[in-house]
Amino acid sequence: MDPQDCGQDLVRCTLCKDAVAPMYCEVCHIYLCKDCVVEHLSDTDGVHKVVSLKQFLSTLSYSSVCPKHPTKQCEQHCEECNVPVCGICVSSKEHDQHKKEDILKFLTTKKALIQIDLLEFKKSIYSKYQEAAANIPVQRDDVRKNSEQLRAALNKQREALHTEIDTIVQRMMTEIDEMDKQHTTALEKQEHAINKTINEIKQVILDLNSLLDTGDVSLVSKYRSRIEEFRKMPPKLKISLPNFVPQKINREQLLKQFGSLSPLLIET
């Protein structure tokens, strides 16, 4: 069998991947079946040169020097060892029972597979990776914006909490001022009453001294003791001074009251 015929026996169309490909585009380097040739040539994005696969194979040059026998060219390929073999190798015991195929057929089939991979890399995989790479700066910007929003939300909540604390403190300060006023008023009232009584006692003492110094029986006889009136001291104010009992700050409880931050989830 003509090696060129062997080379085109099982080459499949690069586009539909099903039909046998008797044609080849020398510009795009793809194998084509008869149906896909029409579609391929209708593509106006580029210039195409479609020839028969047999014609392409006739111009295909290759060099396959035997790795074990440098003076010999390999005409077959050992499928089990996946190496090209020359006539000497074929006759040796090393490859005696191994399945072999024509080197040109192997080369054509292998290049067809390479071409399929190349097309997928160029038309699909490469563009997807480019898109993924281009999306990274967008995602990075999204991360920055989200972090700024989180920080702004935290600061707003902090200010709200500070406002509530300031309101509570101010209310208690007002209560303290009111209690100070009440306490001071009560003390001033008691002070006024005591000072008034002290002045009365001073006058009583002067009167008693005068009576002791006088010989006027009429004045002495009119004296009425007021000792009981002053012996009983005015009631002492019973004041329970206010105090502040701070609660122990429970961080976990405060965190629940303040709000929570959801965890970061990264899925690959």
pLDDT tens digits along 94-117: 887 888 888 888 888 888 888 889
What residues are paired with 52 via a beta bridge? 23
**Taking residues 57-82, what's their average pLDDT?**
81
User: Measured in whole angstroms, how far is the alpha carbon of residue 80 from the centre of its chain?
Assistant: 51
Concatenate the DSSP letters of all residues of 30-70 into one string.
EEE-HHHHHHHHT-TTS---EEEHHHHHHH-----B-SS-T
Copy the structure tokens of residue 45.
């994005």
Which among 30, 230, 79, 164 is positioned nearest to 21, based on CA atoms? 30
Type of residue numbered 249: I
Measured CA to CA, the distance from residue 12 to residue 113 in angstroms comes to 9
Q: Up-side HSE of residue 63: CA atoms within 13 Å toward CB? A: 3
Eight-state DSSP code of residue 79: T
**Taking residues 124-140, what's their average pLDDT?**
95
Residue 176 predicted with pLDDT over 80: yes
What residues are paired with 25 via a beta bridge? 30, 50
Threshold 0.85, pTM exceeds: no
pLDDT band at 56 (very low <50, low <70, confident <90, very high): confident
Measured CA to CA, the distance from residue 229 to residue 244 in angstroms comes to 41
Of 17-21, 57-61, 139-143, which has the strongest mean pLDDT? 139-143
Q: Which H or E run includes 117?
A: helix 103-120
Residues with Cβ within 8 Å of residue 12, at least 6 apart in sequence? 18, 19, 20, 21, 31, 33, 112
As a whole-number percent, the residues of the chain with pLDDT over 90 amount to 41
Which among 17, 19, 27 is positioned nearest to 50, based on CA atoms? 27
Type of residue numbered 23: M
**Taking residues 187-204, what's their average pLDDT?**
95
Pair 53, 33: CB distance under 8 Å: no
- Residue 125 CB coordination number (10 Å): 12
Please report the pLDDT score of residue 61 as a whole number: 60
Type of residue numbered 202: K
